[in-house]
Amino acid sequence: MSDRRKAIEVRNLNKWYGEFHALKDVSVTVSHGERIVVCGPSGSGKSTLIRCINSLEKYDSGNIFVQQIEMKDEVSINKIFSEIGMVFQQFNLFPHLSILDNLTLGPIKALGLSKTDAEERAMNYLKRVRITDQANKKPSALSGGQQQRVAIARSLCMEPKIMLFDEPTSALDPEMIAEVLDVIVDLAEDGMTMICVTHEMGFARRAADRMIFMDQGEVIETAEPKEFFETPKSKRCQEFLSQILQH
């Protein structure tokens, strides 16, 4: 049994970009070991929400707690920084470094690991994402799917308690999507706490404990996948699913 204490708690979060109200009183709770998929139309606030959780965006009002610590200043943010890993749409790998060096940089600089220990850890996580044979290549020699798996391994090298995925397959060619989603499913099955923003509904059915549907900066509906896909309650959610499941 996983620890069901709160890993993340978001209370009444508001975020503005000038006149645009991007998040409107958003409240979300994620327990340890829970896998959440956040979906909704473009501009609904999905990515803004997880960027606020990872302190990449400053919010205007409300509260965010990670591992029971409130993110309110630089000290608290630094304390929980290593608890959260994040994988973006773009891979953000250093092009001049080998795959192995991309993975060891954070553990050596931020965690103080020796080069030997960092390389051992990196190879373990490259094995986890099934690309140990690419360790000495530069990112440009890898496919998009392989680069995204490297980006996942790089986050895992910091050994976070929570993983955030911001549309991790949206920049990939269709044939590369499955290989990345399979890696994320493996993590989910190992009990990693995660929030994944994605339009991949097949993945959501496989991996999510709970679905969150957002629209126009609000959480409209929250449900377990079976209920969410078979009997969505709100009209907006019904319309969204009818559109996305046709493609």
Rounded to an integer, what distance in angstroms lies between the CA atom of residue 43 and that of residue 22? 8
The domain containing residue 79 runs over which residues? 1-83+205-247
Residue 13 included in any domain:
yes
Q: 0.85 exceeded by the pTM?
A: yes
Residue 228 included in any domain:
yes
Cα dihedral 142→144→147→151 (10° resolution): 180
| Reported confidence tier of residue 141, pLDDT bands at 50, 70, 90 | very high
Residue 21 included in any domain:
yes
Residue 235 sits in a domain whose CATH number is 3.40.50.300
Residue 209 included in any domain:
yes
| Average pLDDT along the chain | 93
Residue 24 included in any domain:
yes
Of 28-37, 66-75, 94-103, give the lowest mean pLDDT range. 66-75
Looking at residue 12, its pLDDT comes to 98
Rounded to the nearest 5 degrees, what angle is found at the Cα of 163, between the Cα atoms of 161 and 165? 175
Dihedral of alpha carbons 104, 108, 114, 118, sign: negative
| Reported confidence tier of residue 198, pLDDT bands at 50, 70, 90 | very high
Dihedral of alpha carbons 121, 125, 127, 132, sign: negative
Domain count, the chain: 1
72 against 8, higher pLDDT: 8
Residue 44 included in any domain:
yes
Residue 34 included in any domain:
yes
